Amino acid sequence: MSIFQQSINGFFNQAQWEKNPMESGKTQKSYESVGENQFILMQLGDGDKRIITTSEIEPKLQGASDKPDVNMSLDFESFKIGMNESVDKDTKATLQLQIGQEQKAGSLDKLFYCINGGLDLFNEIKGKKTEAKDFKKSTAAALGNKPISMPGGIAQISLKVLKHEEPSWWQKVFSFAKSDTAKELFSLIGFPGVTETAVNCISGMLDSLFDTKPDILFQSQPIKLGFTKSAKEELSGGSSIIHVSCLNPGFWIMARKSDYDTIINTKPIYYGGYGILAPDGMSEIDALKDSNNNPFSKMTYAIIRAKMVEVDLKQGIIP
């Protein structure tokens, strides 16, 4: 059963799909088997522009010749499981977030940052489904406090998430701290700066641990992104008709492709204290009720916070 291990070649061109989703669906046959579970990325904005699509973003970082590269850190601010997803006391989720370099740093091979997570979807202490804010966690410790380095300010990102009953190996792989009054509900294991071969081995081993087929929440082709003005120029070749996906530091939404129109058209408010999205005008109290009049209650999505700094990765590399 190949789920975490990449079985589909190529990329999902999100920027092109944003500009012309019908035409993109006709031409990108390779991702049709992924379908509506393809994950997409969006930026949370300020003011009237609540959601900024990747094709609309103008990078804030320059990517100048003295600092052409980017170091990044990522924090999970929340992970919201849709109210229509069945969850009981044994329901878990396993995720894998991969960030891969698209250019080499000097003579080094292109490297990947592989973050694997276990999510306990039922809070035993509270006796109910785990709340989105309970999945707030930095990836820094899992990556050994090493930054995610992106030569040329370009990288690919993919997200895969499975929902399943707890298998016998799960608690052994993902260690959870527990006390009488609290229990850790989100555990991360990271592999920073490893080769593509190593990532495929890790993903293959994770696939082999599942005896029964899990429910797929996200299964996707990677999305190629630029994080600086120079990276956007590089990816577009200077052409205005080539659409490029970009992201800035700040808050990102990771959601299913099938929820794109709802997110864009609803102009959501982000209630950071609870890690949830709500329609414009809906109060925090009403948003927390997970009612049918809140379209975000039925969605499964993650909120990520990204921090970035421009650097020169070639400094200190032995030729």
**Does residue 6 sit within a domain?**
no
| pLDDT at res. 82 | 93
| Residues 133-153 pLDDT 10s | 999 999 999 999 999 999 999
User: pTM for the full model?
Assistant: 0.90
User: In the numeric block, which tokens belong to residue 230?
Assistant: 């120079």
Q: Which domain holds residue 230?
A: 14-60+68-311
Task: Give the CA dihedral 75, 37, 114, 272, nearest 10 degrees.
Answer: 0
Residue carrying the six token digits 């993650």: 302
Residue 3 maps to a domain: no
Query: Is residue 316 in some structural domain?
Result: no
Query: Distance between CA 103 and CA 110 in Å, rounded?
Result: 6
Domain count, the chain: 1
DSSP letter string over 194-215? E-HHHHHHHHHHHHHT-SSPPE
- Distances in whole angstroms, Cα of residue 161 to Cα of each of 24, 126, 204, 247, 310: 24, 24, 15, 22, 30
At residue 166, the pLDDT reads 84
pLDDT at 188 over 80: yes
Q: Which of 66-75, 203-212, 284-293 is least confident? A: 203-212
Q: pLDDT for 49-102, tens place per residue?
A: 899 999 999 999 999 999 999 999 999 999 999 998 999 999 999 999 999 999
Q: Is residue 9 part of a domain?
A: no
**Is residue 263 over pLDDT 80?**
yes
What tokens does 158 get?
A: 């993919």
pLDDT value at residue 43: 98
Is 112 contained in some domain?
Answer: yes
- Average pLDDT in the chain: 87
The yes-or-no verdict on residue 22 having pLDDT over 60 is: no
Query: For 226-247, what is the mean pLDDT?
Result: 95
Is the per-residue pLDDT at 37 higher than 60? yes
Residue 9 buriedness (CB in 10 A; 0-12 / 13-18 / 19+): exposed
> Comparing 31-40, 168-177, 204-213, which segment has the lowest mean pLDDT?
31-40
Report if residue 317 sits inside a domain.
no
In a domain, 183, yes or no: yes
Tokens of 189: 């294991």
Residue 24 resides in a domain: yes
The pLDDT of residue 24 is 45
Let me know: does 135 contact 184? Beta carbons within 8 Å. no
Mean predicted confidence (pLDDT) in 188-200:
92
37: helix, strand or coil: helix
Provide the β-strand partners of residue 120. Answer: 92
